[in-house]
Structure 1
């Protein structure tokens, strides 16, 4: 248990707790709007930005953040161009992100080892700059959602009604995409680009099983996200496992447990 008192583990815990709030919180909006795959898309684009950051010697998370935000605007633009096939925007941007990342990887073979940490997570290497970045993103997301929760609720469940009522739908769509991009960019060093979508979607999937209202869903996703992060980090630290993978597998275990519990209740009744 000595690892719990170490400085690097405490930094990891702080970063994990912050992301454990924001990632599931944004995830509930994405899942309810059937945009679950946007997490994978923006994370792949972020990795391209991280690779470029290493290549040009700039803070990788910052470059990844810029790439993810730019991709969020592009997704929203393409969603408008393909109104009947909105999922095409996600597929197109993801393809571009993967292609660009692969090119940048070949251009900078010397930093491939460093980028691996961003692919699979490297929470134990969080620096003070990383924590400040994560904290700023957390504040921005929480403030934005708190101030616009009613509008986001209407947009999430009935976009057409929101437009008819005079809500600036395009603005809020872009806002959700940008906030998601910020969260993903801040998360990739914690759980990794290949796993970050799990932190967005699995808590939301859990909330759909047990929550009875939108308010309950918001509370539930945050609780489940925090439980998974705290317990996942403790398990990974004690048994020397990969933190990101442990957190995601624990989320899946929670989801399966809730499904079995719900099935048991139905069978019993």
Structure 2
């Protein structure tokens, strides 16, 4: 398989949270200590087929070491099913490709499509991913990143429904200027980030490989084994905030 464009940019809106975590404890609220949630039943049995031509001994069983840390711990969901809204009103091929990616993950994870993007856990945008231009002051030049096929961004917020707890949402940007099978592959990859795989696999046979390939891979056993380990990791998300 050949590499094409760089596939994914990971981005998290965490500045306010960092201030909260590093500031003196507030007399009104305190973030919970990180701990693990019960493992979702859907992840207790892994039945993903091994991609054609890949032997079990080709690589380690997972790529958990490549998962990037965040200030809250693991980016996991604790209330199910996780909802996904597709922000495209037309019954287009793009929309059908995204629905195909949702169906791919729904085999292994409690994931459903929702109609309202304002209340959905994950929102998929039919849009080129935003590019963040940086200034290299030493070289006196602008650094403009390469165009991307997809990008995942998360934000944290305080969920006030009892019990109050720290929660998160994801926004996925998918470039519509791709063939349908690559849109589905990009959506499958970005959904993997949104479900908790906040990192990339070094193996091109995994859905979370960071570069687009000619034939986007399906969800692999390694993807699922890594996701299972992520959901066994501690997090501050979803636990009640102490008064």
**Common fold by TM > 0.5:** no
Bigger relative contact order (CA 8 A; separation at least 6): 2
More strand by share: 2
TM-score normalised by the chain length of structure 1? 0.23
Q: TM-score, normalised by structure 2?
A: 0.25
Give the helix-richer structure, 1 or 2: 1
